[in-house]
Structure 1
C-alpha cells in the first residue's frame, strides 16, 4: 500500500528486507516506514507469503502485475484478523544458522496470559509507528516468547522471526515485559536450541543442483532469479531431477501455483482422466480457461505426488 500498489512481490520483498536494489533506490522506497521491517523472513519466505495472500484473496494482481490490497486485507492490517497458512520456516535471518521450527508442544503449551500481554505491547508499538502489528513481530514470535520466557536480547535470537534489526529495535521492550511477568509468576527462562542450516550443493549436474536447492526450501521463483532463467526453465530442471529417481517437495510446487483450490482440484481430476504427460488434452478438457504455465506446474506436482 505504501509503495502505491504498482509493484510486484519481488520488489515488495526487497522493500521489506531493506534491499539496496537499484529499483528500490530509484523509487526512493528506502524512505518508506516499512523499509527493512521484514528481515525476520527470507526473500524466499516473503514470496511464499505473497502467493498465500493471493490464493486467499487478501491481495490481487493489477493489470501490470502490481500487488493490490483487497478489502479483507484491511482487517489484517489493523490487527483484528489473522492470516492462516503454511510456510517453510526452516530458514530465518539468523546468520549462518536456521532456527528450529516451532513445535506443536510450544504451540499447545505457551503461556496464554503472557501472550495476551505481549500482543497488547505489540499493538502499542505498532500504533506509535503507524504500521500493522505483524510488522513488529508475527504471532508465532510472541508464542515462542510466551513459552521460552527469554530474559535477555541474546535469548531472543534463536526465536522464530527475531532478526538482528528487530532484536535491537524491540528487544529491550519485550524482554522487559517478559522479565516482569516471569518475576511476578515465578517463571524461569527456557533455552531454545538452533540447528545448522543445510549446506547448498555445489557439485553435480545443473538439474541436481537446482533439485537439491528446491528440496532444501528455495522457491521456483527465487531459483529462476538466482540462475538468470525463466520459471519454466526451473520446472524443466525439476522434471529432470524427478525423472532421475528423486522426489520433489510437494508444498514447494503448490507455492508456485496461483490457482484456487477449486481450480487445482479440477486440474488434478483432468490429469486423472487424460494422459498426465500431455498438456493439450487437459487444456482442452478445462475449456482452455487455465493457461499452460499453470498446467506445467500442476503437471509436475501430479507426477511428483505419484512418486511419494
Structure 2
C-alpha cells in the first residue's frame, strides 16, 4: 500500500525535493528529527517562521496519514493547494465540499492515496466521522496528529475555542499516535495549558524568538480624521498590501467605504457578512485584486499572504497576544513592514463594555488584566519589541532600534533608589499583591484593606509620596518589562521579585528607566526680560497660579514641579495661542507640553475672554446649548479656531476676572434652583419640586458655578469621585469636550457630574 513504507529520502533531500529549499530555518531540523522519532512536540514559532514545514515534511517521511487539525476553511484550502502544487498528496474535508465529493475523498483516504488530511476539530470529533477515523487507523495508519493554532486549546489564549478542548479524547482513543501542537503565540501559562489539555507526554518544546526584526512597530495618537491618515499611509506604500483592523463591523464598513471613495481598492471582512462574501473578498485580497483588507479580528488566522507591507490597528486590540498575532501578518516574507496602532483612551471604554457582557467573573478578571497590559504597551516609552516579546517571557539583549520609541527615545534616568523602594515594598507585602496595591502602600494610603493587612505598619508605608501615582505606575511597568519584577497572568497581576530584582535589592544592579519626573529647566543663559508685570498681566499670573495649585494638589506635588513662577510670568506676558508657541516658553519641555499645554492654553483663553466687556449681541448663558454627550472627542489641533482670540479684538479693557458675575449673571430660574440647593435638597428632590429633569438642574448648578455663585458640590459629588474626575481631565489633557473625559472614566460617571467638577476647576459650565 502506498503509505505502508517510509519515504527513502532524508529530511534534507525531502526539503529540497518537495519544498525547494537548501537549508532549514533555525530550529526546524531539530523539530523534524524528533518528529521522525515519534516524540510529542510543542512548537512555538512566530508567523512566517516555518511552522507548517515542521509537520508537513515528517508526514512525507513516515508511513500512514498525518491528520492536521485546522480551525478555518480558508487555511485548509490554502495549505492543501500549496502542497498539491508541490507534488504532495494532501486533501481536506470540510463543509465547503458536496456530500459526493466528501465521500470520494474519504474513499481515497482509506485507499492510502493521501499523506496529509486537513480537518476541522468539529468534524474530527463528530460521531459520524468515527467509523472513518477507526478504519483509517486500522487500514492505513495514523502517523501523527498535528494541532495547528494550538493556542485555541487554552482559555488563557487570545482565541479560545471550546471544541479544541475535546481533542484530548482523540489522544485517549489513539494513545500511540504522537501529537504536534503548533502556534505562533503562547505565554508560559498558555503553553502549560496546551500540554495539559492535549495530554502531551514529555514533549519536546521549541520556543523560537518572538522578535520579528523586519517589523517596525509604532503607536500614534488617534487623529480626529482617522480615515484621511490611513489613506495617506496606504498611498505611501505605493501599492503594497495592507490590513486595517477595526473593533466593530460598523467601523469596518464605514472605513472600507471611505477608502474606496479615495480610490483605494479596499474590501471589508467581518462576521456579519455571508460566508460567500467573506470568501470572495479574502480571495481577492490574497490574489492582489484588492490592495487593502479592512477587517475585524475574524480575518487573518492562517492567511498565507507573505507580502503584507502594512498592518494598521484603527482601534485598541483586546490583548497583546491578539495584537502580536494580528500585527505579525505583516512582512511574512522577511522584508520590512510597518505595524501601526492608533491609540485613544476612549477605546478602553468600548472594550470594557464588551468585557462586562461576559457572564463568567473569572473571564472578566482575566480580560481586564489583558486590557491593562495592552494599554501599558500603547503608553510605554520603552522599546516596543522589548515589551511585546517580554509579554511572552522572552528578554531581548538590546532594543530593536527600529520602533518609534527607539527612533525617538525619551532620555533615561537612574531610578535605582525608587526601584529599591518598590521592590522592597513587594517583598515586605509577601509578594501577594498587584501593582496598584503596592503603589498605595508606598504613597501611604490608609484604606481598609491596607490597615486590615497591617501594611500601614511596614517600613515602606508612605516612603513614596515624592512620586505621583502615574510616575510609580510608569516605574512599575518598566520594572516588569525589564524583568526586575514578574507579573502573574492569572488576571490578578500579582507582583513577585525576579532574579534581576533581587540583584537590585542587593545593590548589584542599577535601574535606568525613561524619565518619570519633569525635565529640569535649562540653565543656559536666556534673553533677559523684565520681571515686572503690568496690572492686567499680574492678574492673569495670579489666575494661572491658582490653576497650577489645583493641579499640584491633585498630584500631591509642590506647585513648582508643574511650572515655575518664571514660566507662569512669561506665559502671562506672551499669552501664547498655539501649542507651538507654548512650547517655546522657558521651562516647557515636551512632556510638560503634552501634559499641560492644552489645559493652560484653554485657561489663558477663558481668562482673556472673560476679562473683556461683553457685547450686547453676545448670547446669554441660557441661549448657549449645553455640550452634548455625543460631541466628538477633542483630538488635538487648535481648539480656538471657531472664534477669534481676544488679542484680535480692537478694544482691550482689562478688568479683574473674578467675580465673573460682573459680566454674566445667573437667570431667575437658575437662582430658584440655587435657593432650593442651599436649603439642602438633593438634585432629584429639586427636579421633582420644580418639575424639571435632573439634567436641567445639573446644568443650572454648573452655570451657577461658572458665574461665581457658591454651590456645595461636595453634597452632590463625593470627594473621591471629584478626585477621579480631576485626574481624568489632566490625563486627557483637555477639558473642551466632556466625551473623552467620560470615556476614560467609564460609564459609571455621568456627564452631569463631570460638568459640575469641570466648572469647579475651570469656571466653565
Q: TM-score range by the shorter chain?
A: 0.3 to 0.5
**Does 1 or 2 have the higher relative contact order (CA < 8 Å, sep 6+)?**
1
Structure label with greater radius of gyration:
2
Select the structure that is richer in strand. Answer: 2
TM-score of the superposed pair, with normalisation by structure 1: 0.35
Determine which structure has the larger helix proportion and give its number. 1
